[in-house]
Amino acid sequence: MDDIKVELKNLTKMFRIKKNIITAFEDISLKIKDGEFWCFVGPSGCGKTTLLRVLAGLENPTDGTMYIKHMNISKPLNSMVFQEHAIFPWMDVKNNIAYGLKMRKLKPNLIDEIVDFYIEKMGLTPFKNAYPHQLSGGMKQRVSIARAFANDPEILLMDEPFANLDEQNRVLLQQELLKIWEESKKTVIFVTHSIDEAIFLSDKIMLMTRHPGKIKNIYDINIKRPRVIDNIRSEPQYVNIFQDIWSNLREEVSN
């Protein structure tokens, strides 16, 4: 258990909508090791995002148990990056990234050091004094990711953060995310509709059934790192896993 960061046992989430009970997902049991990169994939409406919100503490599970091993029990910290960039329009890039650090009342010189580090890492140096309305969608998501890592979370939760980006920016940010993750070795749980993205990024993929979401399969991605998007697509394991996930997804959607 020492290296288990997250353990879910028979986790279920239901909602009451008027007189109806809707099950978002049910009977989810899995173990995520410290430092692993997981992707959750499944049909629309299968409960992926709701599961992520439960892990973030934004929703309470209806049934089952959830164990998260925190280094600091008194002040556990997770960060979440959403599909829509959630940065403050009245703050420039530097202050957006610094926001969480200021809320934690870190010393100003330490805040500056951390913020400058992640501004450089995410290629934001020329834009550090810019405001969100002056940035492209890709740049705004770079700010969101920089802010999340700057907070030094134990778990980074990402809900389709690149879904609204064009293909070029999507690939660039996937590569940037992997670089910063490989250095930090944070535990990352990433929701995506893209099979290609999931295989490129992750150590493990959890494939969910259609609503209500259950675990259909878990895939180990043993393709060596560091990964390059152009090279990975020629790997035999990539082709086999892609075809298997696509076949299972098509089965879920068509039934």
Question: Checking phi first, is residue 57 left (phi over 0); if not, alpha (psi -120 to 50) or beta?
Answer: left
> How is residue 213 annotated by DSSP?
B
Distances from the Cα of 213 to the Cα of 28, 46, 49, 226, 253, angstroms:
8, 4, 11, 32, 12
Mean pLDDT of the chain: 90
Exposure pattern of 193-228 as b/e (b: 16+ CB <10 Å)?
ebbbbbbbbbbbbbbbbbbbbbbbeebebebeeebe
How many angstroms separate the CA atoms of 238 and 232, rounded?
7
pLDDT at 19: 83
- Give the residue range(s) of CATH 3.40.50.300 domains in the chain: 4-77+153-254
Contact 205, 198 (CB under 8 A): yes
Name the helix (H) or strand (E) containing 206.
strand 204-208
If one compares 233 and 199, the residue with the highest pLDDT of the two is: 199
Output the pTM of the full model: 0.91
pLDDT at 205: 97
Query: Helix H segments across the chain?
Result: 48-56, 93-103, 108-121, 137-150, 167-184, 195-201, 229-232, 236-254
Amino acid identity, position 208: M
- Mean pLDDT, range 103-131, rounded to an integer: 93
Candidates 3.40.50.300, 3.90.1200.10, 2.130.10.10, 3.40.50.620; CATH matching 4-77+153-254: 3.40.50.300
How many angstroms separate the CA atoms of 205 and 197, rounded?
11
If one compares 69 and 75, the residue with the highest pLDDT of the two is: 69
